[in-house]
A and B are shown apart, each in its own frame.
Chain A
């Protein structure tokens, strides 16, 4: 009897401890959910968005993105650009420390950029700094980059995270990616692969010591689970919730929902080397047949804003009004008539079925494609959705096997990164020119705009490009700018969505904390 009582007591104690309330949140510990798993934190290899965002907390660059994506001083106190735009000289702050206690000097900066420039390393960032001709360490705190030709967006590449030369050389690339040491506001504590990463505040940071002392970054792929975690208090901050989940948070006083124009663009593209998509009349008819103005707000909801430009609202030049007014509008009768004529002329073959390719990991694009197919069928063009896994579609796009496709793109805040890659002739540097579009004038404007630094002049050139490719030639049809939505507990302060390539916990204007 006595024994039974003891066992019962122990068992109830055990159960009590097991099912005690979910642990109370401490104010210095911040837990955030991200949508994917981090695989590698080497800042030279982070071309995958989640990796890039987490690495940006651990590594600091010579310059940083400030408010409205303006470039502000980082590790470099100030810099000068020569008249001809070929020489960039940076003065580094003294006493900037890496997490391992070593001082950051110009040699580390030189090492960082040379590593990315090395073709064998195969970094995707290389294309952004290819114009570097030489790097010269003038003294411990001064470094000079000389370019082979002027390249206006060059300064954006100065945001790359600086790695400590000695450590990187000692442990190698793979280990640097797993046990990163940088000079950023947070340092690596523990990495439980596929589950969570724990970072801690770096108390010797050159600028700001984070208010958050322990940062837990958890990968929670399922949007529904992220929403439940927010409700149960398991995470303080969630990003990438679906429309369905978001609605239940917007009117709830226990949570803050903040949104900002995001950097991504969803668009429809046409292949210029395939029949019949290379006919302008055909492209125009397709765009006239589909009521995009109606379906985009319905499908994207608060996660997207109807787009008329390839460039998101956060990037100059401001040309949206013109592009909106002149965009091809919904006119199903005109579309039907054009399809008839094209069929009569033999441009659209008898048995033609338009294939619209879309990545199955982008549900909103799939829905848009489905609505589009319905509209096209109504206008007399047989069409079907071909929703496939992204890797396969990407491969087919590269080989020019796809006539009509949906894509989403995100990049750094300079028009060059966007327009040059998409609209420059494919064999002349248009690395993302999946339309296989080629136009001499456009090539020339793009080339000119990257070589000058006068923003007004560049703006004029980019406006010309946008008008030409979006209105005249209908190469791409912008659908929606993705909106960045942050959902957080009501005690989180100073966390504002902005640059979607970063997690803005410690920025020039903010230092997030919990009340």
Chain B
């Protein structure tokens, strides 16, 4: 197992090289010069030339690539637009993103999995029909729309929660209060898809012969559902949750905009808008590395859920 984890982590090296090459290539192809965009209406040929020199855009591309990669690995990469280390900027934003992503995940799992299991066990009941109807709406309605409705209800109408912004770390009262609405909005889509997946996965499993055997042996229904059926149904659910979590780390750009949440999604968009090449480079690389790590975590969790899976 340990060797497996090491092996998987070693895969990060080709991922970083591959992603950085592709990324750097694309950045060269995208039109737009950061100096020209930064200067805006104050643009003069001299000022553009001075900034190009200052940011090293006059070097040949391979020199710039290696310099950028080296600076990234040593944490020395500087953002053009923010005039700060890329690692500091992303670090600050990542906290906000992780807080938002984690709470939405917890909410989603706590609501979606029980709903899915009950809906499957009581198939075609009123609960099943109603919850799956809500889930279909949840998938179809964009999260930012849900967000605006939530703001209107809880901030404007009832006036019990702040409408937007980051209120500090989640363990402070202000932080938690600011976190609730965006987390619930972000979790809606995840709740919808996870509960539907849980239901269908449970329904598949419940047809299996070993459950019939268990029942005929007189095993309590509660144990059949939770221990035998649910555990086996978990694999696709975990995969789905893992994918969604990785996407959340990439930043929920729409939710971040609606709630003025200072996460990495908005940062990455800003970076591209300003052609802030070091920041684009750094943030996308870090995100792709996170993606690899999350996938690895999902694979490790499989072992605990299903002992038949093992990595040697």
List residues of A whose CB falls within 8 A of some B CB.
Answer: 17-22, 37, 39-40, 42, 45, 47-48, 119-128, 173-174, 177-178, 192-196, 218-222, 224-225, 228-229, 231-234, 389-392, 394-396, 398, 409-411, 421, 431-432
Verify if B289 is at the interface (C-beta below 8 Å from A).
no
Mask: chain B, 17-36; 1 = CB below 8 Å from A; 0 = not: 00000000000001111011
**B270 and A37 contacting across the interface, CB-CB below 8 Å:** yes
In the assembled complex, the Cα of A186 lies from the Cα of B78 at a distance in Å of 28
A220→B165 contact, CB < 8 A: yes
B258 / chain A contacts, CB cutoff of 8 Å: 222, 224-225
Q: Given A123-B47, A225-B259: A394 and B163 within 8 A (CB)?
A: no
Asked whether B38 lies within 8 Å of A124 as measured between CB atoms, the reply is: yes
A395→B81 contact, CB < 8 A: no
Q: Nearest 6 CB-CB pairs, A to B?
A: A194-B262, A124-B42, A391-B32, A122-B50, A232-B155, A122-B51
Given A228-B156, A391-B32, also A40-B47 (CB < 8 A): no
Name which of B44, B54, B162, B173 has the most chain A CB atoms within 10 A of its CB.
B44
A432 partner residues in chain B, CB cutoff 8 A: 41, 43
Q: Which of A42, A232, A390 is B163 in contact with, Cβ under 8 Å? A: A232
Across the interface, do A124 and B39 meet the contact criterion of CB distance under 8 Å? yes
- CA of A224 to CA of B156 in the docked complex: distance in angstroms? 12
Q: Known contacts A391-B274, A395-B32; is A218 also within 8 Å of B260 by CB? A: yes
**B interface residues, how many (CB within 8 angstroms):** 59
B50: chain A residues at CB < 8 Å are 119-122
Known: A22-B162, A232-B156, A394-B32. A431 touches B83 (CB 8 A): no
Is B205 an interface residue when CB atoms closer than 8 A count as contact?
A: no
Q: Which residues from chain A contact B44 at a C-beta distance below 8 Å?
A: 124, 126-127, 431
Contact A392 B82 (CB under 8 A): no
Q: Give B21-80 interface residues, CB cut-off 8 Å to A.
A: 30-33, 35-47, 50-51, 53-54, 78
| Given A391-B31, A391-B275, A395-B32; A192-B262 close (CB under 8 Å) | yes
- Give bound CA distance, A432 to B166, whole Å: 39
Not counting A126-B44, A234-B163, a sample of 15 additional A-B residue pairs whose C-beta atoms are within 8 angstroms of each other reads A37-B262, A40-B83, A122-B47, A124-B38, A126-B46, A193-B89, A194-B93, A196-B166, A220-B165, A222-B258, A225-B164, A395-B31, A395-B32, A421-B41, A432-B43
The B82-102 residues at the A interface (CB cut-off 8 A) are 82-84, 89, 92-93, 96
Closest chain A residue to B37, Cβ basis? A391
- Asked whether A221 lies within 8 Å of B266 as measured between CB atoms, the reply is yes
Point out the residue from B54, B93, B163, B262 that lies within 8 Å of A122, measured CB to CB. B54
Q: Which B residues lie within 8 Å of A234 (CB)?
A: 155, 162-165
Name A232's closest neighbour in chain B (CB-CB): B155
- 20 residue pairs of the A-B complex, CB under 8 angstroms, read A17-B173, A21-B159, A22-B162, A120-B54, A124-B39, A124-B40, A127-B44, A127-B47, A177-B83, A193-B82, A195-B166, A221-B257, A222-B257, A225-B258, A228-B156, A232-B155, A232-B156, A234-B164, A392-B30, A394-B32
Of B30, B39, B41, B161, most buried by chain A (CB within 10 Å of CB) is B41
Assess the B260–A390 pair: CB atoms within 8 A. Answer: no
User: Are B39 and A231 in contact, CB atoms less than 8 angstroms apart?
Assistant: no
With A22-B160, A193-B89, A224-B258: A39-B176 Cβ-Cβ less than 8 Å: no
**Chain A, residue nearest B42 (CB):** A124
Q: Closest residue to A128 on the B side, CB-wise?
A: B42
Residues B31 and A228 in contact, CB atoms below 8 Å apart: no
Q: Which residues of A contact B246 (CB under 8 A)?
A: none
Within 8 Å CB of B120, what residues of A? none
Q: Which residue of A lies closest to B161 (CB)?
A: A19
Contact A219 B260 (CB under 8 A): yes
Complex interface residues of chain B between 141 and 198 (CB less than 8 A to chain A): 148, 151-152, 155-156, 159-166, 173, 176-177, 180
State A228–B51 Cα separation when bound (angstroms). 40
Across-interface contacts of B266 in A (CB, < 8 A):
37, 194, 221
Shortest CB-to-CB span from B259 to chain A, Å, is: 7
Write out the residue numbers on chain A whose beta carbons fall within 8 Å of the beta carbon of B54.
Answer: 120-122
Alpha-carbon distance A108/B37, docked complex (angstroms) = 30
- CB–CB B273/A390 < 8 A: yes
Residues on A with C-beta less than 8 A from B117 are: none
How close is B91's CB to chain A, nearest CB, in angstroms?
A: 10
Whether, in the assembled complex, B267 has its beta carbon less than 8 Å from a beta carbon of chain A, the answer is yes
**A229-B40 in contact (CB<8A):** no
A22 proximity list for chain B (CB < 8 A): 155, 159-162
Q: Which residues of B contact A410 (CB under 8 A)?
A: 41
Cα A324 to Cα B274 in complex, Å, equals: 37
Q: Given the complex, which residues of A lie within 8 Å of B51, measured CB to CB?
A: 122
Please report the C-alpha to C-alpha distance between residue A272 and residue B274 in the assembled complex, in whole angstroms.
28
Residues of A within 8 A of B275 (CB): 391
By a CB distance below 8 angstroms, the chain A residues around B43 are: 124, 431-432
Interface centre among A40, A195, A229 (most CB of B within 10 A): A195
- Which of B39, B41, B267, B274 lies in contact with A409, CB distance below 8 A? B41
Cross-chain contact A21 with B165 (CB below 8 angstroms)? no
CB distance from A196 to the nearest CB of B (A): 7
